[in-house]
Each structure stands twice: as structure tokens, then as C-alpha cells.
């Protein structure tokens, strides 16, 4: 099943019958998922039709990537043990150390370097990409599953964040020189913009971001969360994860890349989608 499913009259009737029978929102979700409904579509229908479900946080786990419940500070993520060093619930932000080895960081940089071009951002108004003064990095995208290294990292991320590889975009690598920055923004697509509907047809909304640091800049280049007063220093092999169950500023996931003051900064970004991104 995929994101093209819609709330049919039959589904509406069935959902209302579940409510009348006294079933809770998370129980209704479990039955829908068991019969093959896409989690994003199911949660959307339940939030729309089940009284009290609109703000029910127990529905988030099905629609948001995240750590396994009870995860300790050392997490076995597919082929590598990763350190969880910061774990914040509101906003949902986690920082990992040692997600990538030094050799993996160096190899990603060398694979990406010859393919870099000036970064573009998606223009929500039109659904197209264009160069933007707020984003002065250079970048490139790997296809999902492109080569052994990228595939291994994708499998590691999927295990760490409990989110299928198929619901991830291809890895993006960015390079920032001195003075380059990425001004604060949200990574989700603004539902109020006319271009967003077209973007969402492939994979649905973005629901989480994993930003991996491939080197340690000499100075500057932290990732900032202005609404949360949090700043994450770029450190080779580390990563910051943040999730946003709704495309809303209430998630407080506004974030930016501070200007690099000395040296350069390399990052790899994995954006996670609500549904299969094919
Ligand atoms: O490179 C960064 O620190 C950064 C900051 C904000 C990257 C992104 N956003 C991004 O790739 O979305
Ligand atoms: Zn971002």
C-alpha cells in the first residue's frame, strides 16, 4: 500500500464504527496497519475522524522516525555501535557520536567532491529547485543504494531510527567554505505553498532529518536550533537527528548552519519521508 490511498466513504464508515465501539485511536491504527494501510494515511484519517485524536501523541510513533524505546547510550545500529550523547524530547532532537568512521567520512567526501555544484533549495511556491542566497554551500545527491558505502550507511540509519530505507531520500552531501552558511529554515514542505502538493506526491512529507558531520571545521559551522536555544558543534563522525511529526513551527525544529569561520565544513543529510520515496 502507498501514499496514494485516500479516505474512502467505506473507510470513513469503518472508522466511525470503531469509534462507536469504543476503540482507542492507537488500537484503530494498529488494525489499519495490520491490514496494509500506509501509516501516514491511516494516522491522517484517524486524526480527522476520531474525536480527540487530532493531538494524540501516541499516534506520532507510527509517523515519525525515532530511537527504539529504552535505547541505552550505546546502540547497535545494523553494522556499527553508535553512542547516543544527547536525547531531547521537545523538540525531538538527538545527537550521536561515532555514527560514521573516519574512513567512511573521508570516502564520502572523495566520492562527492567531483560532483559538487552550487546548492539549490526547493521553492515551495512552484515545487522547483533554484539557487538561494540563504544557502551558500555546494552540494550533490547520491541515489539511494548507490554503491556499497552509501548502502551500508543507509541500512545503519534505518536501524538506528527505525525507519525503512525506502522512506528515505538519497543522501545529500554539502560543502561549506569560509563564510558559507545555511540560514534557519524548516526541512518540511510548507503545506500553505502551492508547489507542496506536487512535491508530496513522491514520498509524502519529510518527517525527520539526520545531519552527519563528515569533518570538523576549524571554527564555526555549528547547526543551530534558534527556537530551542540549542547549538550542535560539527564533529567528524557525529550526527544530529531531529523529527517533526507535523509540518508546523510548533515542532520547534527551525534550524540553520552557522557560517564557517575557518577551514571548511562537510555534511551528509538524510531526509526521511512519511511514505515510500521511489
Ligand atoms: O549543514 C548544516 O548544518 C545544515 C543546517 C541546516 C544542513 C541543513 N539544514 C540541511 O541540509 O537541511
Ligand atoms: Zn535543514
Tens-digit pLDDT profile for residues 143-182 = 999 999 999 999 999 999 999 999 999 999 999 999 999 9
Predicted confidence band of residue 133 (pLDDT cuts 50, 70, 90): low
User: What's the whole-number average pLDDT of the chain?
Assistant: 90
Model confidence at 137, pLDDT cuts 50, 70, 90, reads: confident
Task: Return the domain boundaries, the chain.
Answer: 9-63, 74-273
Q: Does ligand 1 have an atom closer than 6 angstroms to the CB of 182?
A: yes
| Ligand 1 center–CA 127 separation, angstroms | 20
C-alpha of residue 186 to centroid of ligand 2, in Å: 6
pLDDT per residue over 42-80, tens digit each? 888 898 888 888 877 777 777 789 998 878 899 999 999
Give the distance from CA 278 to its chain's centroid: 16
Q: Which residue has the higher pLDDT, 9 or 108?
A: 108
pLDDT at 25 over 60: yes
pTM above 0.95, yes or no: no
Q: What is the distance between the alpha carbons of residues 274 and 62, in angstroms, rounded to a whole number?
A: 9
- Asked if the model's pLDDT at residue 98 lies above 70, the reply is yes
Please state, in angstroms and rounded to a whole number, the distance separating the CA atoms of residues 67 and 159.
Answer: 9
CA of 1 to the centre of ligand 1 (A): 32
Distance between terminal CA atoms of the chain?
13
The dihedrals phi and psi of 216, each to the nearest 5 degrees, come to -110, 110
DSSP notation for 120-153: EEEETTTTEEEE-TTB--EEEEPPTT-HHHHHHH
- Give CB contacts under 8 A, 24+ apart, made by 73-76: 75/160, 76/159
Check residue 124 and give its pLDDT.
Answer: 67
- What is the assigned CATH class of domain 74-273? mainly beta
SS3 219: strand
Three-state SS string across 174-201, please? EEECCCCCEEEECCCCCCCCCCHHHHHC
Mean pLDDT of 21-31: 87
Ligand 1 atom nearest to CA at 137: 1
Q: How confident is the model over 21-26, as a mean pLDDT?
A: 88
pLDDT tens for residues 233-247? 999 999 999 999 889
Task: Report d(CA 137, CA 79) in Å as an integer.
Answer: 31
pLDDT (0 to 100) of residue 256: 98
CA 261 / ligand 1 centre spacing (Å): 16
| Residue 3 reports pLDDT greater than 70 | no
**Would you tell me how many other CB atoms lie within 10 Å of the CB of residue 80?**
18
Q: 211 CA to middle of ligand 1, Å?
A: 7
Q: Kindly report the protein residue whose alpha carbon is nearest to atom 7 of ligand 1.
A: 257
Q: Give exposure, 116-136, as e/b (b: 16+ Cβ within 10 Å).
A: eeebeebebeebeeeebeebb
**Alpha helix positions (H), the chain:** 9-20, 25-34, 39-49, 60-63, 102-112, 147-161, 196-200
What does the pLDDT read at residue 128? 66
Distance CA 56, CA 29 (A): 12
Higher pLDDT, 26 or 1: 26
Contacts of 171 (CB under 8 A, 6+ apart): 108, 141, 142, 144, 150, 153, 154, 268, 269, 270
CA–CA distance, 115 with 104 (Å, rounded to integer): 17
Q: Mutate which of 223, 241, 254, 261 to test ligand 1's pocket (most atoms within 8 Å of Cβ)? A: 223
Q: Is the CB of 259 under 6 A from ligand 1?
A: no
Given a cut of 60, whether residue 1 has pLDDT beyond it is no
Cα distance between residue 180 and residue 183, in whole Å: 10
- Quick one: what percent of the chain has pLDDT higher than 90? 68
**What is the tens place of the pLDDT at every residue in 184-220?**
999 999 999 999 999 999 999 999 999 999 999 999 9
Confidence of residue 134 (pLDDT cuts 50, 70, 90): low
Amino acid at each position: 500500500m502507498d501514499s496514494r490511498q485516500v479516505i474512502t466513504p467505506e473507510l470513513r464508515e469503518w472508522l466511525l464504527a470503531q469509534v462507536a465501539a469504543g476503540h482507542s485511536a492507537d488500537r484503530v491504527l494498529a488494525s489499519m496497519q495490520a491490514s496494509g494501510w500506509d501509516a501516514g494515511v491511516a494516522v491522517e484519517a484517524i486524526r480527522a475522524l476520531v474525536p480527540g485524536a487530532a493531538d494524540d501523541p501516541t499516534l506520532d510513533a507510527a509517523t515519525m522516525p525515532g530511537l527504539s524505546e529504552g535505547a541505552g547510550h550505546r546502540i547497535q545500529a545494523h553494522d556499527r555501535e553508535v553512542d547516543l550523547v544527547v536525547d531531547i524530547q521537545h523538540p525531538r532532537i538527538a545527537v550521536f557520536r561515532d555514527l560514521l568512521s573516519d574512513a567512511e567520512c573521508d570516502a564520502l567526501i572523495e566520492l562527492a567532491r567531483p560532483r559538487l555544484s552550487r546548492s539549490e533549495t526547493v521553492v515551495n511556491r512552484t515545487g522547483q529547485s533554484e539557487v538561494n542566497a540563504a544557502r551558500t554551500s555546494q552540494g550533490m545527491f547520491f541515489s539511494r543504494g548507490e554503491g556499497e558505502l552509501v548502502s551500508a550507511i543507509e541500512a545503519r540509519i534505518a536501524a538506528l531510527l527505525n525507519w525503512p530505507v525506502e522512506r528515505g531520500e538519497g543522501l545529500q552531501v554539502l560543502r561549506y567554505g569560509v563564510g558559507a552558511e545555511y540560514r534557519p529554515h524548516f526541512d518540511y514542505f510548507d503545506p500553505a505553498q502551492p508547489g507542496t502538493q506536487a512535491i508530496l506526491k513522491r514520498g509524502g512529507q519529510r518527517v525527520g532529518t539526520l545531519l552527519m558531520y563528515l569533518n570538523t571545521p576549524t571554527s564555526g559551522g555549528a547547526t543551530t536550533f534558534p527556537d530551542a536555544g540549542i547549538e550542535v558543534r560539527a564533529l567528524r563522525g557525529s550526527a544530529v537527528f531531529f523529527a517533526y511529526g507535523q509540518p508546523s513551527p510548533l515542532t520547534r525544529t527551525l534550524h540553520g548552519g552557522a557560517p564557517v569561520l575557518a577551514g571548511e565544513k562537510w555534511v551528509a543529510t538524510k531526509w526521511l519521508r512519511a511514505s515510500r520515496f521511489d
